[in-house]
């Protein structure tokens, strides 16, 4: 596996770990200098540094999805010159008084030597995320 393939694999696995509330797997790609940002005007938004804080974010994010019966699925992963871009979809079935959910976003990750230097979770529509899942 070459360096580019390794970066893509780290980005894919980190997004899958986020989707599955697998803080242990994601923490394996982090060190104390790693930064994870969740952009938007939502309660979980902010900057999370190091394995402990990122792990807490992963558990909170997964709990938010789980409470609504939502799933996060990796759509595709594309390497760029500085970052790896992992597109995802969040879906949830209709429930009493609530329409089904289908939202998109991107995890933009910079990887070096198998470790995440920084990741930014970007939502296509932060308002819809808050309305439908918050």
- Calculate what percentage of the chain has a pLDDT beyond 70: 99
| Rounded Cα gap, residues 64 and 56, in angstroms | 12
**pTM metric for this prediction:** 0.86
3-state secondary structure of 2: coil
Which region, left, alpha or beta, applies to residue 72 given φ > 0 means left and ψ of -120 to 50 means alpha? Answer: beta
Q: Which fold has domain 3-133?
A: Nuclear Transport Factor 2; Chain: A, (3.10.450)
| Rounded Cα gap, residues 105 and 107, in angstroms | 7
Highest mean pLDDT among 20-34, 35-49, 100-114: 100-114
| Rounded Cα gap, residues 131 and 112, in angstroms | 36
User: Tens digit of pLDDT for each residue in 83-105?
Assistant: 999 999 999 998 888 889 899 99
| Rounded Cα gap, residues 96 and 105, in angstroms | 26
């Amino acid at each position: 596996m070459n360096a580019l393939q390794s970066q893509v694999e780290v980005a894919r696995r980190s997004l899958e770990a986020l989707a599955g509330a697998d803080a242990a797997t994601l923490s394996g790609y982090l060190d104390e200098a790693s930064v994870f940002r969740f952009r938007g005007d939502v309660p979980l938004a902010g900057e999370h540094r190091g394995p402990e804080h990122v792990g807490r974010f992963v558990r909170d994010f997964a709990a938010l999805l789980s409470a609504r019966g939502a799933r996060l699925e990796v759509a595709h992963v594309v390497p760029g010159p500085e970052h790896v871009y992992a597109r995802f979809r969040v879906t949830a079935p209709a429930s009493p008084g609530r329409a089904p959910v289908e939202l998109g976003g991107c995890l933009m990750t910079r990887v070096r030597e198998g470790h995440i230097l920084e990741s930014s979770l970007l939502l296509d529509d932060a308002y819809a995320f808050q309305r439908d899942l918050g």
